[in-house]
Structure 1
Amino acid sequence: MKKIIIQIIVLTTVSVVYSQDITKQIDSLKNEGLLMAALQQQYKLLAEKPSEDLHYDIASTYALLWSSQARDSAFVHLHKALKNDASLQVLYDPHFLSLIEDERWLAIENSQLKKYEIQNNLIQNKSFALKLFRMIIKDQGFMYVGNIERKKYMKNGGYFSTPAIYPILAMEEKNHNQNTEELLRLLDENGWPTASQVTEYAAAGAALIINHTNYKIRKKYFPMLEAAFKKGEAQPLRYAKMKDRLLIEEGKEQL
Structure 2
Amino acid sequence: MKKIMTCCIAVIMLQTTFGQQLEKEADSLKEQGLLMPALMKYGSSFMQNGSEEISYKIASTAALLWTSKMRDTAFYFLNYAVRKDSTLKPLYDPQFLSLINDPRWKVIEDDQIRKYEMRNGAITNKTFAKELFEMIIKDQGFMYAGNIERRKYMENGGYFSTPAIFPLLALEEKNMQENKNRIIELLDKYGWPTASQVTEYAAAGAALIINHGTYEMRSRYFPMLEEAFKKGEAQPLRYAKMQDRLLIEEGKEQLYGTQIRIEHNTRKIQPVKDPQYVDQRRAEIGLGPLAPYLKNRFDIDWEVLQENNKAK
Q: Report the residue type matching 1:179 in the other structure.
A: N
User: Runs of 4 or more off by more than 3 Å in structure 1?
Assistant: 1-20
Consecutive unaligned residues of structure 1, counting only runs of 5 or more, are none
Q: 1:208-232 CA deviation, whole Å, 9 max, x = no partner?
A: 1111112111010000001111111
Question: Which of the pair is proportionally richer in helix?
Answer: 1
1:250 matched residue in structure 2: 250
For 1:218, the equivalent position in structure 2 comes to 218
Q: Which segment is superposed worse, 160-169 or 114-123?
A: 160-169
Write out per-residue CA displacement over residues 184-220 of structure 1, whole angstroms, 9 at most, x where no aligned residue. 1110111000001100000000001111112111010
1:122-160 Cα distance to aligned partner (Å, 9 max, x none): 001000000000000000000001011112222223222
Report the number of matched residues: 255
Aligned match of 1:118: 118
Question: Where do 1:147-162 residues align within 5 Å?
Answer: 147-162=147-162
RMSD: 2.0
Q: Which shows bigger deviation, 7-16 or 156-165?
A: 7-16
Matched, 1:140 2:159: no
Aligned residue number for residue 104 of structure 1: 104
Which residues of 2 match residues 161-172 of structure 1 at below 5 A?
161-172=161-172
Report the counterpart of residue 200 of structure 2 in structure 1: 200
CA-CA distance at 1:12 after TM superposition: 7.0
- Cα displacement (A) at 1:2: 11
How is 1:49-68 mapped onto 2 (pairs within 5 angstroms)? 49-68=49-68
Which residue in the other structure is 1:173 paired with? 173
TM-score if structure 1 supplies the norm length? Answer: 0.93
Q: Write the distance in 1 (CA, Å) between the matches of 2:69 and 2:9.
A: 42
Provide the C-alpha distance between the structure 2 equivalents of 1:250 and 1:3, rounded to a whole number of angstroms: 74
Secondary structure of the 1:122 match is coil
Cα deviation code 1:52-108 (max 9, x no counterpart): 111111000110000011101111111111111110000000000000011111111
What percentage of aligned pairs have identical amino acids? 62
Match of residue 82 from structure 1: 82
Could you tell me how far 1:10 is from its partner in structure 2? 7.2
Kindly provide the CA deviation profile for residues 36-59 of structure 1, in whole angstroms up to 9, marking residues without a partner as x.
101111111111111111111100
Distance in 2 (alpha carbons) for counterparts of 1:235 and 1:159: 35
- Paired with 2:68 and 2:142, the residues of 1 have a C-alpha distance of 18
144-153 or 134-143, which moves further after superposition? 144-153
Shifted more, 24-33 versus 172-181: the winner is 24-33
Bigger relative contact order (CA 8 A; separation at least 6): 1
Segments of 5+ residues of structure 2 without an aligned counterpart are 256-312
Q: TM-score, normalised by structure 2?
A: 0.77
Query: Distance between the aligned counterparts of 1:231 and 1:159, measured in 2?
Result: 45
